[in-house]
Amino acid sequence: MMRKAALRAWVVLLLAGSGLSYAQIITTMAGGAWWGCPKGTMAALQAPLRYPGALAIDLQGNLYVADRDNLEVMRLSPDGMLTVVAGTGGQGSPAEGAQATSTPLDSPAGVAVDAAGNVYIAANGRVRKVSLNGIITTVASGGSGANRLAMDAAGNLYIGDSGTIRKVTPGGVISTVAKGLWGPGGIAVDSAGNVFATLYNTVLKVTPDGTSTTVVTNLGQPADVAVDAAGNLYIAEGSDVVKVAPGGTRTTVAGYCKYSGACTEEGQATNATLDARAVVADANGNIYIGDIGETYGHRVRKVTPAGIIGTVAGNGLPRFFGDGGAASEAALATPAGIALDSAGNLFIADQKNQRVRKVTPAGIISTVAGNGTEGFSGDKGPAAKASLSSPTAVAVDAAGNLYIAEGGHYYDYPGRVRKVTPDGNINTFAGGGTGYELNGVPATSARLGSPEALLLDAAGNLFLAADNVVYKVTPGGTMTAIAGTYSGYAGDGGPAAKAQLYSPLARSRPGRSRQPVHRR
């Protein structure tokens, strides 16, 4: 599970932070080989990754990966090349003052990069620094489990170390910011220098003068924390995302009811029971959630900026009815993917109903694709009369074209992406072919397994995650792999298109389609 989560996170950061621009051709960006350690510089797609447990991005869009099993730290550049920056693949303590690529590392668990481009590595109770000339030195030692790193705007390095948070200044002075903690897990630093850390079931705040206070309590199992430019604190704890405003106001953006007597379908979002499969935000700050839970699920929920949750589609019964009427009185069956268009229409991948539904801003629901029968048929005709196969994700481009990812069954109904034009006609956009060569080919000649996530960029390129690979399909229909090849962990030091990924994750932007983070 750790490998799977790490690789998913790697793909998210790669797409979000690299600054790369892709055509609609699909190519693999990283991964490919099963075993071995990357050496020197190579195509990321040909490099073997084994346990990429920590990530960082520098100001130039380079992605740094700490691979604990390969005992190396690698840099993936925007041009798809992977370079080893520290480690030889052998285990041991690095020689002080040596070239970082000529001396071993011992289980690198954390990585950070400062504004000047120096790389910091948490490994075996110590923090090492790799300077711009490639020399490795120790900047902090004496710890027992340094595994979390964060940098602030002033260049101070914060280290999460087995119950202690320590600070190392640019001048090398180390001090303890907080100790006696349970954890810590995730750490973050805001623009004022305050440090936040997830600790057991709380979040702790430590000010620059060393004062610590608990800002959030009674969490489930918080895994990470982040701070935005406005100072809002976001805490990820599994079934909830909690927001804490600078003034201390806490709201659950999306959450579950912890006590059965307080559970509600409408009202405060903090009292809601959710099993969120998909989420998207509109320009007004409203959040829409595809809820597949059995108690209050089979609905699309809306959370307002005030933290109020309501139902916009679905009555909780996993059936099909209600077209032409109020969406809140209609039935959905597993709303697995959702998307918004520029006019405010909501599109729902109604997976078990084998349909895509549309909800207008006035709240009226209708079927825009699928006749309720599983299969692949109806291309070049009305989308509402076509057969779909387990639609898992949807996306809408600026021209109003709707894209549908259909998971299907690999042998009976291999996966496809279908495109529905504004006039209501459907056609296959990607997949449906017999070819296993998926790089630089017409998208419709490719054979896909189970596409699970879709994302459109401003240029109209469609990115899809399928078969442990992230593909790009240009508006002209050319498909290339930009990340991953087969399921596995490999490819560092080489082209991203030859690397192996395990269940790549898609990323979305506000107002665009958001696909599931986990398939359940």
**Mean pLDDT of the residues in the chain:** 70
8 A C-beta contact, residue 228 and residue 245: no
Give Cα separations from 359 to 5, 193, 328, 356, 415 (angstroms). Answer: 33, 44, 10, 10, 26
Q: Is the pLDDT of residue 62 over 70?
A: yes
Does the pLDDT value for residue 494 go beyond 80?
no
Residue 413 DSSP class:
B
Residues 385-417: tens digit of each pLDDT: 999 988 888 888 888 999 888 875 545 556 788
Model confidence at 180, pLDDT cuts 50, 70, 90, reads low
Residue 310 has pLDDT above 60, yes or no: yes
Higher-scoring residue by pLDDT: 83, 224:
83
Summarised one tens digit per residue, pLDDT across range 4-21 is 333 333 333 333 333 333
Looking at 70-79, 178-187, 499-508, which range is the least confident one?
A: 499-508
Both structure tokens of 346: 């909501």
CA dihedral 460, 466, 468, 469 (to 10 degrees): -30
As a whole number, mean pLDDT of residues 164-168 equals: 69
Outline where DSSP puts E strands in 343-445. Answer: 346-350, 355-359, 365-369, 381-382, 391-396, 402-406, 416-420, 425-431, 441-442
**Residue 324 confidence (pLDDT) above 80:** yes
Q: What's the pLDDT score for residue 104?
A: 86
- Decide: residue 155, CB within 10 A, 0-12 exposed, 13-18 middle, 19+ buried: middle
pLDDT at 474 over 70: yes
pLDDT score for 183? 45
Tokens of 231: 């100072």
Is the pLDDT score of 339 beyond 80?
Answer: yes
pLDDT for the residue numbered 340: 86
Under DSSP, the state recorded for 351 is: G
- Highest-confidence segment of 82-96, 179-193, 370-384: 370-384
In the predicted structure, residue 355 carries a pLDDT above the cut 70: yes
Listed residue (70, 69, 68, 76) closest to 29, CA to CA: 76
In the numeric block, the tokens 């790389």 are attached to 119
- Residue 518 predicted with pLDDT over 50: no
* 3-class state of residue 158 by DSSP: strand
How far apart are alpha carbons 40 and 81 in whole angstroms?
A: 10
Q: What is the pLDDT of residues 417-456, one digit of tens each?
A: 889 999 999 988 887 766 555 556 677 766 676 776 666 6
Euclidean distance between CA atoms 290 and 253, whole angstroms: 14
Q: How far apart are CA 163 and CA 31, in angstroms?
A: 35
Q: Provide the pLDDT for residue 477.
A: 82
54 has a pLDDT exceeding 70 = no
pTM of the model: 0.49
CA 183 and chain centroid, separation? 24
Mean pLDDT for the stretch of residues 483-506 = 36
Percentage above 70 pLDDT, the chain: 55
- 217-267 residue pLDDT tens: 766 666 556 666 567 766 655 455 567 777 777 766 655 555 455 566 677
Instruction: For CA atoms 316, 317, 320, 324, give the dihedral sign.
Output: negative
Banded pLDDT at 132 (limits 50, 70, 90): very high
Q: What integer is the mean pLDDT of 484-510?
A: 35
Mean pLDDT, rounded, for 481-491: 43
Judge contact between 472 and 13, C-beta under 8 A.
no
* DSSP 8-state secondary structure symbol assigned to residue 59: T
Q: What pLDDT is attached to residue 322?
A: 92
Give me the residue spans of the domains in the chain. 2-498
* Greatest mean pLDDT range, 120-134, 285-299, 346-360, 446-460: 346-360
